[in-house]
């Protein structure tokens, strides 16, 4: 009898297909009952909501429960996102242009085709704040975001240039070391994309670090070993090669600038461009001042945070306001500036 049971168990395992299950709860009172599952294959598009990344959607029940399940995912770990927003299907392509969406809640996690992911309510019925999974790497992004929040707190304790420089150096190294300690190279890419972002204050440290730190070669090898055929590995190798090429070109050009005539022409060009930039800056400053005068003092404060790429949640925490109040201020700002999105608002002050 025992022998027959073993044979049946083996046969059953052969015919059973691996299956994933991603489930959780959203707040039904928010009017957001459609839930989306996306795969993130471009680590530069981890933050935001992109329509082309969506692979499935479902509707939450009256209690807010939702579930995605099947066997169509990759057998290796990949980066996935679950998000909810108030945009209709017809509005998504417009509202999610370049990943922008005002009314969105999202969560990044690592999973594969055999994983079970549960996203329960956290304190105060907050959603997407906790990940329960059989995959120990699933909550790596939540851990990184927690560390980044500590970093933001350290920056806000003393807002001086000296403190900012000290924190830049400290947190650049701390984030890098933390990512490596996670022993999951695609989680490291989350940190790498943040540190190497050209719009970040930390980018200058990245450029200097790239000159002599072997960390980047090590990350490349870890990706090749764990994910030899993934888009993440190919993207990282291409970006790293491009950055090193530009760095080498910059160093070579600096060493070759010994021609007096070329230096004179360059200096004259810089002076002329400087004059034109200064004149444009004065005009732009006058225009932006007039635009800001249309806003209330509170709206001006919210606008400054928007220009710093802060999320509604970040702004609400910084100003001790509710997220809905921040959204109300944001909508008033859009109306007064005659814009439709954050990107359009930022373009007025860039």
Quick one: pLDDT at residue 8? 46
The overall pTM is greater than 0.85? no
Residue segments in the chain with a per-residue pLDDT below the cut of 50: 1-16
CB pairs under 8 A, 24+ apart, for 14-18?
17/71, 18/71, 18/75, 18/113, 18/114
Quick one: pLDDT at residue 5? 45
Give the pair of three-digit tokens for residue 302: 């919210």
Q: What is the radius of gyration, based on Cα positions, of the chain?
A: 24
φ, ψ for residue 67, nearest 5 deg:
-155, 140
Quick one: pLDDT at residue 66? 95
Q: How far is CA 255 from CA 147, 148, 205, 248, 251, in A?
A: 40, 38, 21, 11, 6
Quick one: pLDDT at residue 252? 66
Quick one: pLDDT at residue 94? 58
């Amino acid at each position: 009898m025992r022998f027959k049971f073993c044979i049946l168990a083996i046969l059953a395992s052969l015919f059973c297909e691996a299956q994933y299950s991603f489930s959780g709860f959203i707040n039904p009172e928010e009017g957001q009952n459609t839930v989306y599952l996306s795969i993130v294959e471009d680590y530069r598009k981890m933050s935001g909501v992109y329509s082309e990344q969506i692979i499935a959607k479902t509707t939450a029940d009256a209690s807010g429960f939702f579930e995605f399940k099947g066997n169509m995912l990759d057998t290796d770990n990949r980066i996935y996102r679950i998000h909810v927003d108030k945009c209709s299907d017809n509005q998504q392509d417009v509202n999610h242009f370049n990943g922008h969406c005002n009314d969105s809640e999202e969560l990044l996690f690592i999973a594969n085709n055999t994983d079970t992911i549960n996203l329960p309510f956290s304190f105060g019925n907050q959603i997407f704040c906790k990940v329960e999974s059989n995959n120990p790497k699933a909550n790596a992004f939540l851990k990184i975001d927690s560390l980044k929040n500590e970093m933001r707190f350290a920056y806000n304790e003393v807002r001086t240039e000296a403190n900012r420089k000290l924190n830049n150096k400290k947190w650049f190294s701390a984030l890098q070391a933390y990512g490596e300690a996670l022993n999951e190279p695609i989680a490291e890419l989350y940190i790498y994309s943040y540190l190497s972002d050209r719009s970040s204050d930390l980018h200058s440290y990245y450029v200097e670090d790239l000159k002599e730190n072997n960390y980047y070669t090590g990350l490349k090898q870890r990706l090749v070993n764990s994910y030899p055929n993934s888009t993440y590995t190919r993207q990282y190798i291409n970006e790293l090669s491009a950055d090193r090429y530009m760095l080498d070109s910059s160093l070579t050009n600096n060493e070759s600038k010994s021609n007096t005539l070329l230096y004179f022409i360059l200096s004259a060009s810089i002076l002329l461009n400087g004059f034109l930039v200064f004149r444009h800056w004065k005009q732009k400053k006058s225009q932006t001042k007039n635009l800001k005068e249309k806003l209330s003092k509170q709206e001006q404060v919210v606008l400054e945070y928007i220009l710093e790429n802060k999320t509604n949640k970040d702004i609400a925490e910084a100003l001790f306001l509710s997220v809905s109040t921040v959204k109300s201020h944001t909508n008033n700002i859009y109306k007064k500036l005659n814009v439709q999105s954050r990107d359009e608002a930022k373009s007025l002050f860039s």
